[in-house]
Amino acid sequence: MTDWDCTTAYRELRDRVSNLVREHASGVDELAPATPEWRVRDIVAHMAGSCDDVAHARLEGVGSDTWTSAQVEPRRDWPVDRLLDDWNEHSTTIEPQIASFPPVIAGQMITDAYTHEQDIRGALRAPGGRDSLAADIAFDWGSDRLGDRMTAQHEGSLVLETNSATKAVGSGEPVTRLCADRFDITRALMGRRSRAQLESMGWDGPFEPERLLLSTELFRPAATDIVE
């Protein structure tokens, strides 16, 4: 899909997360089960730092551990309000520009932000945002990238049957059907489900569950079950 309103999706997401973190300020030092090396405040630092880097074209090594560490470490001990103000400052600079990004890049930005919104919500035990515009984009972007990989590797097609819609990804005859909640599929694509959780999803047909991961080079199944 290329008709995503990524500017609105990001602005709404930032508002949701900012309000959530302020309401749960006492929990910002909680470790996030989905990102056990980061506390809630570290995830916010990454989100703020990503906007800072994009706004200032610091994109060398984008997505790497080195790139994200350079965002988190300088902000590690900042007060919550300062972190959120920093995120607001830089995100309002880039939000009007998102529509001009190539769709695959804009979609990736929203998907990453949505993934971390849910990481934060998991740490704070405050579910939400699952029916948002960002959730729609994250599912579409992630499943599109899965389909691209399946097509490139001649793996046939996979039918994703969710609570909201049915979508085929890949090309050729369907070889497998997966019946699962859209939220769980989106989280699985980004490595937020364990191997046991992947295997227990509603598979009908031959498909290695770990192949559902968006990129086996970037993501591995979570070390333990992530229940959200």
Minimum mean pLDDT range among 50-59, 175-184, 213-222: 213-222
Q: Which residue has the higher pLDDT, 4 or 214?
A: 4
Tell me if 43 sits within 8 A of 35, measured CB to CB: yes
What is the reported pLDDT for 216? 60
Q: In 3D, which of 120, 114, 162 has the Cα closest to residue 141?
A: 114
Q: Which residues contact 90 (CB under 8 A, 6 or more apart)?
A: 48, 51, 52, 54, 55
Contacts of 40 (CB under 8 A, 6+ apart): 21, 24, 27, 28, 29, 30, 32, 120, 123, 124
Tell me the pLDDT tens digit for each residue of 20-70: 999 999 999 999 999 999 999 999 999 999 999 998 888 888 878 888 899
Q: Which two tokens stand for residue 102?
A: 């190539």
pLDDT digits (tens, 9 = 90+) for 120-165: 999 999 999 999 999 999 999 999 999 999 999 998 999 999 998 9
The structural domains of the chain, with segments of one domain joined by +, span: 6-124, 133-212
Fold category of 133-212 in CATH: Nonspecific Lipid-transfer Protein; Chain A (3.30.1050)
Q: How far apart are CA 10 and CA 44, in angstroms?
A: 14
Helix (H/G/I), strand (E/B), else coil: 45: helix
